[in-house]
Amino acid sequence: MSDFAELHFEGEVYKLPVVEGTENEKALDISKMRGQSGLITIDPGYKNTGSTESAITFLDGEKGILRYRGYPIEQLAEKSSFLEVAYLIIYGELPNAEELKKWETEITYHTLIHEDFKVLLEGFPSNAHPMGVLSSCVTALTAFYPDSLDPVRSKDEVRISIVRLMAKLPTLASWAYKNEIGQPLLYPKNNMDYASNFLRMMFATPAEDFTPDPVVVSALSTLLILHADHEQNCSTSTVRIVGSSHASLYASVSAGINALWGPLHGGANQAVIEMLEAIKADGGDADKYLAKAKDKDDPFRLMGFGHRVYKNFDPRARIIKKAADDVLGKLGVNDPILEIAKKLEEAALVDPYFVERKLYPNVDFYSGIIYRALGIPTNMFTVMFALGRLPGWIGQWKEMRENNEPIGRPRQVYTGENERDYKDVGSR
Ligand code: CMC
């Protein structure tokens, strides 16, 4: 392989180094190009821009491959636990038995939230979206744990900041929900596993305890694993860019939660259910909505379809579709919108518009249907995504700081007015 490419511009030739990843991905290093040629590159939405070198997640959108630290997502979803995967993503290797025990114990120990958080929560209107509440609470952690504001200087501080965030996010997420529905906030129970503890805090009340169904616990753990990381997506890039200014882990992750919220990213799981409900209410005509999605004068898009990088199939969607059938079958749930979803998928997969543009169901097309069957309310779906994505955000933030990456600061091509003189308001 040639280790450079040539750029010919205005009679000069510039050599651009080629960088190669461990899966033979090749990239042009243009970091010195401006100094040499005066040129910058432009790529709105960073569709073809590598912002970093990362050793965490590999995905091949053409082949539908997703691996965390080299391990195929299919194996991890089937065999491991969410906390094991979280450790793998954050620390680079699967934990041995002793490391796993210590990790689980530490995370269990730190699940309690400072009592003053209750005052903060009371300040939100009861109809506040739980994603807004969650991101505010995660930012607020910086006030309660100022010792972790600059955690990169000490390994112990890094560790405790990470453990606190992993441990407290399920408690905060359930509190955001309880606050919304006006029920008392429940404390975590440290003898329960991660997913069960979260489900109990969501669905128990002081009047009635709640023991999660093992089918539900297992499905939730799988969903969390499937969402755990996805390389440089919108929210993860946000976490890295905020963290690149040396903002704290909590501030960086809070920004990631906000980026995830939008319907083109993590908010798609809520948007999918709302779309399927609307189709059902309108008589269940999948073809009508397919036609709307294809009409360029209609802003409607088929939510849960298409992906920036997967142009063949989304491996997570395959696992989730099967899980949706399993879970609904085991729980005896007969959800009519699952049938509408399947009809939409079948029709889209043979429709030239979707085929030509390589638009396939993504991870969010079926995840909302499972969350619904598990009893999770629709506006908590994106919160569920955030719980799953947390190890990815942490791992990527840690990698970025450990590699001492420079502050993120893209350039632009200016298209506004040229210099002009100020005129007094009366003479304009
Ligand atoms: N329905 C109808 N048309 C679509 C859709 C869709 N869901 N997605 C893309 N297209 C069309 C788009 O109009 C464009 O057509 P044309 O070339 O004629 O202008 C073409 O396909 C390429 O689309 P794009 O918007 O340029 O692609 P992108 O890479 O910028 O956007 C996406 C990717 C995921 C934002 C987009 O496919 C979309 O909006 N999907 C629906 C929202 C969704 O499901 N998001 C969840 C993504 S997976 C979870 C996550 O990781 O966040």
Average pLDDT for 140-158: 79
> What is the pLDDT averaged over residues 188-208?
94
CA 385 – ligand 1 centroid, Å: 19
Helix, strand, or coil here: 65?
A: strand
- From residue 344, alpha-carbon distances to 280, 305, 322, 327, 418 in Å are 12, 10, 16, 20, 50
Read off the pLDDT of each residue in 384-392 and give the average, rounded to a whole number: 97
Other beta carbons within 10 angstroms of residue 297's beta carbon come to 5
Predicted local distance difference test score (pLDDT) of residue 150: 64
**Is 308 close to ligand 1, i.e. is its CB under 6 Å away?**
yes
Instruction: Tell me the CA–centroid distance for residue 306 and ligand 1, in Å.
Output: 5
Higher-pLDDT residue of 170, 150: 170
Residue nearest to atom 39 of ligand 1 (CA): 264
- Give residue 301 CA to ligand 1 midpoint distance, Å: 8
Which of 7-11, 116-120, 146-150, 301-305 shows the lowest mean pLDDT across its residues? 146-150
Residue nearest to atom 22 of ligand 1 (CA): 357
**Which protein residue has the closest C-alpha to ligand 1 atom 48?**
362
Q: Which of 298, 362, 367 to mutate to test the pocket of ligand 1 (most atoms within 8 A of CB)?
A: 362
- What is the C-alpha separation between 160 and 330, in angstroms, rounded? 39
Percent of the chain having pLDDT more than 90? 78
Report how far apart, in Å, the C-alpha atoms of 36 and of each of 27, 51, 148 are: 18, 20, 41
Residue 256 CB less than 6 A away from ligand 1:
no
**Nearest to 118, CA basis, from 100, 99, 101, 133:** 133
pLDDT, tens digit, 9 for 90 and up, residues 69-90: 999 999 999 999 999 999 999 9
* pTM (predicted TM-score): 0.93
Q: Given the CA of residue 307, which atom of ligand 1 is nearest to it?
A: 34
Q: Would you place residue 149 in the very low, low, confident or very high pLDDT band (cuts 50, 70, 90)?
A: low
Predicted pLDDT of residue 410 = 96
What separation in Å is there between the alpha carbon of 307 and the centre of ligand 1? Answer: 6
Does ligand 1 lie within 6 Å of residue 265's CB atom? Answer: yes
Residue nearest to atom 45 of ligand 1 (CA): 264
What is the average per-residue pLDDT within 189-200? 94
Question: What is the enclosing helix (H) or strand (E) of 56?
Answer: none
Query: Residue 236 above 90 pLDDT?
Result: yes
Structure letter (DSSP) for residue 146: G
How far the first Cα of the chain sits from its last, in Å, is: 61
> Which band of pLDDT confidence, cut at 50, 70 and 90, is reported for residue 25?
very high
Query: How would you classify the pairing of strands 4-9 and 57-60?
Result: unpaired
Specify the pLDDT at position 220: 93
Position in ligand 1 atom list of the atom nearest CA 306 = 37
Domains and CATH numbers, the chain: 4-50 (2.20.28), 82-405 (1.10.580.10)
The residue among 182, 181, 215, 213 whose CA lies nearest residue 200 is 213
d(CA 113, CA 424): 56
Catalytic residues: 307, 364
Mutate to test the pocket of ligand 1, among 305, 358, 364 (most ligand atoms within 8 A of CB): 305
Structure tokens, 202: 């969501």
Segment 264-277 shows an average pLDDT of 92
pLDDT tens per residue, range 44-61? 999 999 999 999 999 998
Question: What is the pLDDT, as a whole number, of residue 120?
Answer: 93
The one-letter amino acid at 15: K
Helix (H, G, I), strand (E, B) or coil at 387: helix
- Residue 154 binned pLDDT confidence (cut-offs 50, 70, 90): confident
Give me the pLDDT at residue 156, please: 84
pLDDT tens-place string over residues 314-337? 999 989 888 888 888 888 888 888
Token pair recorded at residue 158: 């890094």
What are the tokens at 225? 């694993």
Residue where the block lists tokens 């399927």 = 276
pLDDT, residue 13, reads 96
SS3 for 410-423 is CCCCCCCCCCCCCC
Instruction: State the pLDDT confidence band at 148, using cuts at 50, 70 and 90.
Output: low
Query: Is 80 exceeded by the pLDDT of residue 43?
Result: yes
Residue 180 pLDDT:
86
Q: Is pLDDT of 312 > 90?
A: no
pLDDT recorded at residue 263:
92
3-class DSSP assignment, residue 66: strand
66-70: list long-range contacts, CB under 8 Å, 24+ apart: 66/230, 66/315, 66/316, 68/228, 68/229, 69/93
Q: Is any ligand 1 atom within 6 A of the Cβ of residue 242?
A: no
Q: Is 184 exposed, middle or buried (0-12, 13-18, 19+ CB in 10 A)?
A: exposed
- The mean of the pLDDT values for the chain is 93
Q: How sure is the predictor about 152, in pLDDT bands with cuts at 50, 70 and 90? A: low
Q: Mention every residue, 6+ apart, whose C-beta is less than 8 A from residue 338.
A: 324, 328, 369
pLDDT given at position 126: 84
Q: Please tell me the distance from the alpha carbon of residue 85 to that of residue 229, in angstroms, as a whole number.
A: 10
Report the C-alpha gap between 72 and 67 in whole angstroms.
Answer: 4
- Spacing, Cα 43 to ligand 1 middle (Å): 17
